[in-house]
Amino acid sequence: LYFVYFFGPAFEYTWTNANSLIAYSGLDDFIRQAQISVQNATKKSEQEALANRYELKVTANKRADWDKAIEEADKAFKLTREQRIENFAEILKNILNKAEKNNSNKKRQSSVTTRQSRKTLSPSTNKSSNRSSVKRQKTKST
């Protein structure tokens, strides 16, 4: 298994099997390799499976992120392995620092909100609105 980080503005990652990985050498080369693989398949079911695997399924609302990821991958492709590691270490450090700041802000916000809601509760308060605000607070902090 490999732990993979994806290029693009969102910090996305996953675990994947080695047989799911393809060496990147540019988008045009990927498309060519996909077409050749589909054409070389001997069975129709195999052709369909490969066509489905290689299909570029990018929704309209994700297109800008997709283009950004391709641009970043193309830049990284031109670097040496050591340069890619250095660049990624810097990117990862920035992302982790940003996430840490966001988490500390959420924790402070959540505790302040909880204290405020405790002060404002009274016997005449509508209980259903309290429950929904508590659910929202739990969602925000997780």
Question: Domain check: are 67 and 104 in the same one?
Answer: no
* Same-domain pairing of 96 and 50: no
Q: Is 61 part of a structural domain of the chain? A: yes
The number of domains in the chain is 2
Is 74 found in the same domain as 96? Answer: no
Confidence (pLDDT) at 110? 55
In a domain, 65, yes or no: yes
Whole-number Å distance between alpha carbons of 106 and 99? 10
Please give the pLDDT value at position 103. 80
In Å, how far are 58, 110, 126, 139 from 133, measured between CA atoms?
Answer: 36, 11, 11, 10
pLDDT in tens, 13-64: 899 999 888 888 999 998 898 899 899 999 999 999 888 888 888 888 988 9
Residue-level pLDDT at 79:
94
**Alpha carbon separation from 47 to 19, 56, 70, 102, 126 (Å, rounded):** 17, 16, 26, 46, 61
Residue matched to tokens 């050749």 = 36
11-20, 52-61, 96-105, 121-130: the lowest-pLDDT one: 121-130
Kindly state whether residues 63 and 101 are assigned to the same domain: no
Give the pLDDT band (50/70/90) at residue 113.
Answer: low
Is residue 71 domain-shared with residue 97, that is, in the same domain? no
Chain centroid to Cα 44, Å, comes to 33
100 and 68 within one domain: no
**Which range of residues forms the domain containing residue 137?**
92-142
Does 132 fall in a domain? yes
Residues 44 and 96 in one domain: no
Q: Mean pLDDT over residues 107-123, rounded?
A: 53
Higher-confidence residue of 43 and 140: namely 43
Instruction: Using a pLDDT cut of 70, give the percent of the chain over it.
Output: 74
